[in-house]
Amino acid sequence: MEELVPVVCPWCSVGCRLYIVSVNGHPRKIEWDYDHPNTPNRGKLCPKGVASYQFTISPDRLKKPLIKRNGKFEEVSWEEAIRYVAQKFKEIIEEDGPEALAFLGSERCSLEDNYVLQKLARALGTNNVEFAGRLCQSSNFVARSKVFGSPAQTNPFDDIVKSKVILVWGYNPAETNPVLFGQYFEKALDNGAKMIVVDPIKTKTAKFADIHLQPYPGTDLAVALAMLNHIIKNELYDKKFVEERTDNFEELAKSVEEYTPEWAEKVSGVPAEMIKRAAELLATGGNATIVLNEGVNQHANGTMTALAIANLIAITGNIGKEGVFSGVIPGAHCGLCAAVPGVNCAQLPGPVPLNEENAKKFSELWGFDVPRKPGLHYQAIFKAMAEGKVKGIFIMGQNPARSLANSSLIEEALEKAFVVVSDIFPTETTKFADVILPAASWYEKTGTVITQNRRVMRSFKAIKPPGEAKPDWEILVMLARELGVGEYFNYSSVDDILREINRAIPALKGATPERLNSNLEGCFYPCPDEESETPRLFLKGFPTKTGRAQLTPVKWVQPGEVPDEEYPLWLTNFRQVGHFHTGTMSMRSKSLIKRWPESFLMINPEDAKALGIRDGDRVRVETRRGSLVVRAMVTDRIRKGVVAMPWHWGVNFLTKDDAIDEFSKMPELKAVACRVTKEVVE
Ligand SMILES: Nc1nc2c(c(=O)[nH]1)N[C@H]1C(S)=C(S)[C@@H](COP(=O)(O)OP(=O)(O)OC[C@H]3O[C@@H](n4cnc5c(=O)[nH]c(N)nc54)[C@H](O)[C@@H]3O)O[C@H]1N2
Ligand SMILES: Nc1nc2c(c(=O)[nH]1)N[C@H]1C(S)=C(S)[C@@H](COP(=O)(O)OP(=O)(O)OC[C@H]3O[C@@H](n4cnc5c(=O)[nH]c(N)nc54)[C@H](O)[C@@H]3O)O[C@H]1N2
Ligand code: SF4
Ligand SMILES: [Mo]
């Protein structure tokens, strides 16, 4: 039987809709969805969207539960696997308490899967529950929560097209959110908008820029402080907005007096004149879209830079009205599906802070006592594991052996604990597992997604899972029952879970199964009842104590590691349009791996010449943690003094685990000091 099933793309968070055409549960092709003009993509897809389901039919899919015995994985029944995990977890709880357990949720799994995961952790008594959002948006999340009272994206994508200026900071949407870039950013440029890009690399996005600033990695804070300085000193800020809708302007103005563009030039390598031009365009060019992403977030000073940029947004009055745009950009398609239900060591579903009042509320709703003590953040869970303090971990849809900083250290930690992984493929992390549980992939289950633009939508089961693979929420419910907490997990469908979420999270009260199943365009979160939704935020005020934006003075801080004589070059990393994260799925998608086959190192012609390196040479890239050998790409698209590689192929063997942002707990994933040598082939 041929079916046409509406789904949401399983890669980035733009939330593109498409159809899968399947015959008897097997995928045959995709169809573009032009039927729903209010969805973010309006029918369009990028190369990953087009390659959508290729990974689902890979022969490598996990099909049966596996238990490691004498160093070898053996196929077992679901009953045996779940019983074994439950028994081990019970032993750990009895001997060391529930805090010796940790749970990882996933931005590749649905709202329902993630809600159940965090609830299970809490039912067992631990708040050690995290996901890759910590490595992704945490810095901007903290900064915007402080300044605007909420991290959320403020306006619908259509407002980008109405902007006159676009500032893109440490973000390459032409590769990482291609449909967003093509459908909205490029249309704004076609309408005459001017674009400023801040990136050490001349990326696909930067090719469209009117002004391109190329700082050394991790020195963006200096550039942002100098822009604040120039705008305030020359009184180019929005006086009415500052007067009516912000607090602390005088303190902010005083705090940036010392950070002149000339000072910033010395720190960041960006000419003072260009910083001034960018500041003037931003302040006087009209309504602006101001977006930042991993080039800002993933630094030990990431929160500080994100705060400085939030101050820039506020003093130029580019928030709380139509025709502007800013906010956190959740990474993978379900980033918000893990953040909103509180897959976080210090937040409960909402997300709301883990405090006495909220813990009490959820204890009443759930019927068990929610643990009060905050858990460990992502990188700290692995540190505690290496120290023997976290003894068991349930990893749902994460590949920390490659996605966290300093992979060697993470592998050592995984070696020590009882590790359970639910995934759709064998990964670098499953190598260290004691039990592997085969999960149904995104197209093999029905689930709710919240896109980066806060649109809540349903994706439907389009194909049959392979072998005995099951949706994650079902796996978790089986485990909960075996652990003796089944009474709190009385769900027989995703709709049951969503109905509980409707009760648990007021902003999702109106996103009911009935509404989402019948209306494929979904609704903008917050949707407090079935009739309402919220496309624009902060039109009247900010959810801060005074209702006004809280301008926040920031001081210059260095990134975690800077070049020196031994390691003289800056190394950073980026994404390619054809690959996703650690590549477990994209490297098993035929059309993607064919076109984007391997890693490489971008190096400026001057640096290459000084090191005797020619285009195509094999080179060794070495940091204080480890080294990788890749092909050199000699190109003036990267600035002198900086080298860069895609992070999909093991870059975290080179990154630093102990430079962590004080406020967001983000490890320094983007900037490290390195040396590069030509690899001599014998
Ligand atoms: N194709 C593809 N798309 C994706 C993903 C993917 O893996 N592949 N992942 C998704 C996820 S989870 C996320 S979070 C987003 C991330 O989306 P992006 O933030 O766009 O991703 P990156 O390419 O990692 O980083 C953006 C840019 O930061 C620059 N950069 C590096 N260091 C610095 C610095 O110190 N300062 C500045 N100003 N720039 C710097 C890089 O050169 C790069 O161009 O993409 C999402 N979309
Ligand atoms: N150096 C450096 N490090 C980085 C970054 C960087 O830019 N530079 N970026 C960071 C960012 S922004 C992010 S978001 C993280 C991402 O870090 P991770 O989330 O750990 O990376 P993924 O490769 O997406 O791992 C997701 C896993 O989920 C599996 N999976 C997919 N679908 C399902 C499903 O339905 N169920 C289950 N159970 N499993 C599933 C996939 O096969 C894969 O193994 O990495 C971070 N690490
Ligand atoms: S832009 Fe993102 S959501 Fe849209 S098709 Fe590409 S990967 Fe999928
Ligand atoms: Mo991310």
Give tens-digit pLDDT for 335-361. 999 999 999 999 999 999 999 999 999
Assign residue 647 the CATH number of its domain. Answer: 2.40.40.20
CB 49 less than 6 A from any atom of ligand 3: yes
Residues 143 and 172 in one domain: yes
Which pLDDT score is estimated for 1? Answer: 86
User: Does some domain include residue 537?
Assistant: no
Q: What is the mean pLDDT of residues 495-499?
A: 98
Q: What is the mean pLDDT of residues 42-70?
A: 96
Contacts of 574 (CB under 8 A, 6+ apart): 172, 175, 201, 203, 644, 645, 646, 647
User: Does some domain include residue 535?
Assistant: no
Which pLDDT score is estimated for 279? Answer: 98
Using alpha carbons only, how large is the chain's radius of gyration in Å? 24
Residues 574 and 642 in one domain: yes
Q: Is the pLDDT assigned to residue 30 strictly greater than 80?
A: yes
Q: How far is the CA of 236 from the centre of ligand 3 (A)?
A: 38
Which pLDDT score is estimated for 52? Answer: 87
Residues 200 and 273 in one domain: yes
Residue identified by tokens 């500052």 is 242
Which pLDDT score is estimated for 169? Answer: 98
Protein residue with its CA nearest to atom 2 in ligand 3: 12
User: Does some domain include residue 106?
Assistant: yes
Ligand 1 atom nearest 205 alpha carbon:
44
Confidence of residue 399 (pLDDT cuts 50, 70, 90): very high
Residue identified by tokens 């195509």 is 616
**Using CA atoms, how far apart are residues 118 and 129, in angstroms rounded to an integer?**
6
Q: What is the mean pLDDT of residues 397-405?
A: 98
Q: Is the pLDDT assigned to residue 680 strictly greater than 90?
A: no
Assign residue 47 the CATH number of its domain. Answer: 2.20.25.90
pLDDT digits (tens, 9 = 90+) for 533-566: 999 999 999 999 999 999 999 999 998 899 999 9
Residues 497 and 413 in one domain: yes
* Ligand with the closest atom to the CA of 55: 2
Which pLDDT score is estimated for 301? Answer: 97
Q: How far is the CA of 293 from the centre of ligand 1 (A)?
A: 6
Which pLDDT score is estimated for 267? Answer: 97
Closest by CA to 556, choosing from 224, 145, 197, is: 224
Which pLDDT score is estimated for 157? Answer: 96
User: Does some domain include residue 70?
Assistant: no
User: Does some domain include residue 417?
Assistant: yes
Which pLDDT score is estimated for 530? Answer: 93
Contact in structure between 346 and 359 (CB atoms under 8 Å): no
Structure tokens at 549: 């934006």
Region of 328 (left: φ > 0; alpha: ψ -120 to 50; beta: rest) is: beta
Contact in structure between 247 and 546 (CB atoms under 8 Å): yes
Which of 524, 554, 588 terminates a domain? The answer is 524
Assign residue 232 the CATH number of its domain. Answer: 3.40.228.10
Q: How far is the CA of 222 from the centre of ligand 2 (A)?
A: 31
Best residue for ligand 2 mutational test, from 112, 424, 470 (most atoms within 8 Å of Cβ): 424
Which of 263, 294, 328 terminates a domain? The answer is 328
Best residue for ligand 3 mutational test, from 41, 53, 459 (most atoms within 8 Å of Cβ): 41
Q: What is the mean pLDDT of residues 649-660?
A: 96
**Using CA atoms, how far apart are residues 6 and 20, in angstroms rounded to an integer?**
7
- Looking at every residue in the chain, the average pLDDT score rounds to 97
Residues 367 and 469 in one domain: yes
Confidence of residue 118 (pLDDT cuts 50, 70, 90): very high
Instruction: Please give the span between the terminal C-alpha atoms of the chain, in angstroms, as a whole number.
Output: 59
Q: What is the mean pLDDT of residues 240-244?
A: 98
Strand arrangement of the beta sheet that strand 211-213 belongs to: 211-213, 194-198, 165-169, 288-292
Alpha-carbon torsion 439, 440, 441, 447, what sign?
A: negative
Which pLDDT score is estimated for 560? Answer: 87
Q: What angle do CA 670, 450, 474 make, to 5 degrees?
A: 100
Confidence of residue 682 (pLDDT cuts 50, 70, 90): low
Q: What is the mean pLDDT of residues 426-448?
A: 98
Which of 509, 524, 539 terminates a domain? The answer is 524
pLDDT digits (tens, 9 = 90+) for 280-311: 999 999 999 999 999 999 999 999 999 999 99
CB 398 less than 6 A from any atom of ligand 3: no
Domain that holds residue 389: 79-133+333-524
- Other beta carbons less than 10 A from residue 460's beta carbon: 17
Closest by CA to 109, choosing from 445, 570, 552, is: 445
Residues 500 and 610 in one domain: no
Which protein residues are within 6 Å of ligand 1, measured from CB?
Answer: 12, 136, 169-172, 175-177, 198-201, 203, 215, 217-218, 220, 293-295, 331-332, 572, 574-575, 577, 579-581, 644, 670-671
Q: Map residue 675 onto helix, strand or coil.
A: strand
Q: How far is the CA of 579 from the centre of ligand 3 (A)?
A: 12
Confidence of residue 681 (pLDDT cuts 50, 70, 90): confident
Which pLDDT score is estimated for 186? Answer: 98
Residues 111 and 159 in one domain: no
Q: Is the pLDDT assigned to residue 274 strictly greater than 90?
A: yes
Assign residue 510 the CATH number of its domain. Answer: 3.40.50.740
Contact in structure between 277 and 211 (CB atoms under 8 Å): yes
| Number of residues that make up the chain | 682
pLDDT digits (tens, 9 = 90+) for 128-160: 999 999 999 999 999 999 999 999 999 999 999
Q: What is the mean pLDDT of residues 25-54?
A: 94
Q: How far is the CA of 134 from the centre of ligand 4 (A)?
A: 9
Task: Compute φ and ψ for 395, nearest 5 degrees.
Answer: -110, 110
Residues 426 and 507 in one domain: yes
User: Does some domain include residue 541?
Assistant: no
CB 229 less than 6 A from any atom of ligand 3: no
Q: Map residue 506 onto helix, strand or coil.
A: helix
Can you spell out the DSSP letters for 557-586? ---S----SSS-EEEEEE--TT--TT-TTG
Q: What is the mean pLDDT of residues 160-187?
A: 98
Residues 49 and 116 in one domain: no
Task: Compute φ and ψ for 551, nearest 5 degrees.
Answer: -60, 140
Structure tokens at 506: 């007021």
What is the percent of the chain with per-residue pLDDT over 90, rounded to a whole number?
98
Helical (H) or strand (E) element with 94: helix 78-96
Q: What is the mean pLDDT of residues 570-592?
A: 96
Structure tokens at 385: 């594991």
CB 11 less than 6 A from any atom of ligand 3: yes
Ligand 3 atom nearest 41 alpha carbon:
4
Q: How far is the CA of 54 from the centre of ligand 3 (A)?
A: 15
User: Does some domain include residue 340?
Assistant: yes
- Structural domain count, the chain: 4
Residues 390 and 316 in one domain: no
Residues 383 and 515 in one domain: yes
User: Does some domain include residue 499?
Assistant: yes
CB 472 less than 6 A from any atom of ligand 2: yes
Protein residue with its CA nearest to atom 4 in ligand 3: 16
Residues 158 and 302 in one domain: yes
**Using CA atoms, how far apart are residues 54 and 320, in angstroms rounded to an integer?**
42
